């Protein structure tokens, strides 16, 4: 059955974007999609192991939110974390090397697909357990507020974006952390990537309130629903939420209605979702929609966008070569990074 809760296409107000910002967002989305397609190829060629969960189709959420933030803001991800890492500025080489389990990876080959981390880029980690990253992100938001208000650090105005899926909104951490964030007016965006499905459970069958953004009301928190296939709509909502958070006005719960174009993981044959449902969402491809908008608004030409596509393809090929040539982790360092070092 086709899911019907879909928001309108581009509207006049939230779709305003400059040429420069439009090209940045487009390049980021193409980077995410191209990277994930290459991951699928490498996985089936036996270069990656374990579970690999791809982000195809959801790029508008990552790019729309993270590119509306500063580079010193914080990002907390899920087990579907590759594209969040790329949007946060982690080099494609380091992400690919991590997926290959190499020492040059952003987690030194210790994390793999589901546990990307980069202190340099304020990426707080990918988390394998559902809702596991929500308390970590809440803690990051608390420390920023504490440093600013209790320790007098005027530079501590960072905002945290916490990404999680629709299934996490039924977990205890979700309710506990939203309550704390609302009470303390923490500078955090709780971003629900509602892609309609868990592994094999349709979202509407798993919750008594399918409209997740409405759960914000019980915490006296701002809750917003947005078309997660429209990067400009996501960006507009994120910009407003970031401004509110940075001004000390507290958290926002953003429910982005989106869809994953592949199975739950690369081990999922994806036989539970109907052909009609998939075709309905494939037609709303967020990258194609942004490309069409940029061309229609004379912000970019088709050839300029194709040049970006070629640039990203070369960057991804370079990342794969880097990963292939990188060394394996040294067994002598097995216990390194377990505890903090002086």
In this predicted model, what pLDDT tens digit does every residue of 122-150 receive, in sequence order? 999 999 999 999 999 999 999 999 999 99
Per-residue pLDDT for 13 more than 90? Answer: no
Per-residue pLDDT for 1 more than 70? Answer: no
Separation CA 161–CA 251 (nearest Å): 10
Confidence of residue 245 (pLDDT cuts 50, 70, 90): very high
What pTM does this model have?
0.94
E strand map for 215-303: 222-227, 252-257
Residue 172 phi, psi dihedral angles, 5° rounding: -60, -40
150: its two tokens? 């209790």
H/E stretch holding 21: helix 19-44
Q: What is the DSSP annotation of 189-230?
A: EEEEEE-SBSSS-BHHHH-S---GGGGGGGGT-EEEEEETT-
Per-residue pLDDT for 216 more than 70? Answer: yes
Confidence of residue 198 (pLDDT cuts 50, 70, 90): confident
Q: What is the mean pLDDT of the chain?
A: 94
Confidence of residue 5 (pLDDT cuts 50, 70, 90): low
205: its two tokens? 């069958």
Picking from 179, 250, 175, the residue whose alpha carbon sits closest to that of residue 212 is: 175
What number is the average pLDDT over the span 327-342?
A: 89
Per-residue pLDDT for 6 more than 60? Answer: no
188 bridge partner residues:
160
Picking from 265, 261, 301, the residue whose alpha carbon sits closest to that of residue 282 is: 261
CA atoms within 13 A on the CB side of 59: 26
What domains can be seen in the chain, in order of their start residue?
A: 19-297+305-324 (3.40.50.970)
Confidence of residue 3 (pLDDT cuts 50, 70, 90): very low
What is the b/e burial string over 30-56, where b = at least 16 CB atoms within 10 angstroms of the residue's CB?
A: bbbbbbbebbeebbeeebbeebbbbbb
Of all residues in the chain, what percent carry a pLDDT higher than 70? 95
Separation CA 157–CA 144 (nearest Å): 6
23: its two tokens? 């090209």
Separation CA 80–CA 115 (nearest Å): 9
Sheet holding 252-257, edge to edge: 74-76, 160-165, 188-194, 252-257, 222-227
What number is the average pLDDT over the span 303-312?
A: 98
194: its two tokens? 């509602």
Separation CA 253–CA 223 (nearest Å): 5
Residue 209: how many other CB atoms lie within 10 Å: 10
What number is the average pLDDT over the span 179-193?
A: 98
Of all residues in the chain, what percent carry a pLDDT higher than 90? 91
Q: Are 254 and 237 in contact (CB under 8 A)?
A: yes
CA dihedral 190, 194, 198, 200 (to 10 degrees): 170
Residues 201-213: tens digit of each pLDDT = 999 999 999 999 9
Q: Could you give the C-alpha distances from 51 to 39, 223, 316, in angstroms and in order?
A: 12, 32, 21
Q: Are 58 and 339 in contact (CB under 8 A)?
A: no
pLDDT at position 340 is 83
pLDDT at position 75 is 98
Per-residue pLDDT for 55 more than 90? Answer: yes
């Amino acid at each position: 059955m086709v899911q019907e809760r879909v928001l309108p296409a581009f509207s006049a107000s939230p779709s305003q974007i400059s040429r420069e910002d439009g090209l940045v967002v487009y390049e980021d989305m193409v980077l995410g999609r191209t990277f994930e397609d290459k991951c699928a190829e490498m996985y089936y060629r036996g270069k990656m192991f374990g579970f690999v969960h791809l982000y195809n189709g959801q790029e508008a959420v990552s790019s729309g939110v993270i590119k509306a933030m500063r580079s010193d803001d914080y990002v907390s991800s899920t087990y579907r974390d590759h594209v969040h890492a790329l949007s946060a500025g982690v080099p494609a080489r380091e992400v690919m090397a991590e997926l290959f389990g190499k020492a040059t990876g952003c987690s030194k080959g210790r994390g793999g697909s589901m546990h990307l981390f980069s202190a340099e880029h304020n990426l707080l980690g990918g988390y394998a357990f559902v809702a596991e990253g929500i308390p970590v992100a809440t803690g990051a938001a608390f420390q920023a507020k504490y440093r600013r208000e209790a320790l007098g650090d005027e530079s501590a105005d960072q905002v945290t974006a916490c990404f999680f899926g629709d299934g996490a909104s039924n977990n205890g951490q979700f309710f506990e952390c939203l309550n704390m964030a609302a009470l303390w007016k923490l500078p955090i965006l709780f971003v629900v990537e509602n892609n309609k499905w868990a592994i094999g459970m349709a979202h509407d069958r798993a919750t008594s309130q399918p409209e997740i953004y409405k759960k914000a009301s019980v915490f006296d928190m701002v809750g917003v629903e947005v078309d997660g296939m429209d990067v400009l709509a996501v960006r507009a909502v994120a910009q407003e939420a970031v401004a509110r958070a940075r001004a000390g006005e507290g958290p926002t719960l953003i429910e982005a209605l989106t869809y994953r174009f592949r199975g739950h993981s690369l081990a999922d044959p994806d036989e539970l979702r109907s052909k009609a449902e998939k075709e309905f969402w494939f037609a709303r491809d967020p990258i194609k929609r942004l490309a069409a908008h940029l061309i229609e608004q004379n912000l970019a030409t088709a050839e300029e966008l194709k040049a970006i596509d070629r640039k990203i393809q070369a960057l991804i090929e370079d990342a794969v070569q880097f990963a292939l040539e990188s060394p394996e982790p040294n067994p002598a360092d097995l216990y390194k990074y377990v505890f903090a070092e002086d």
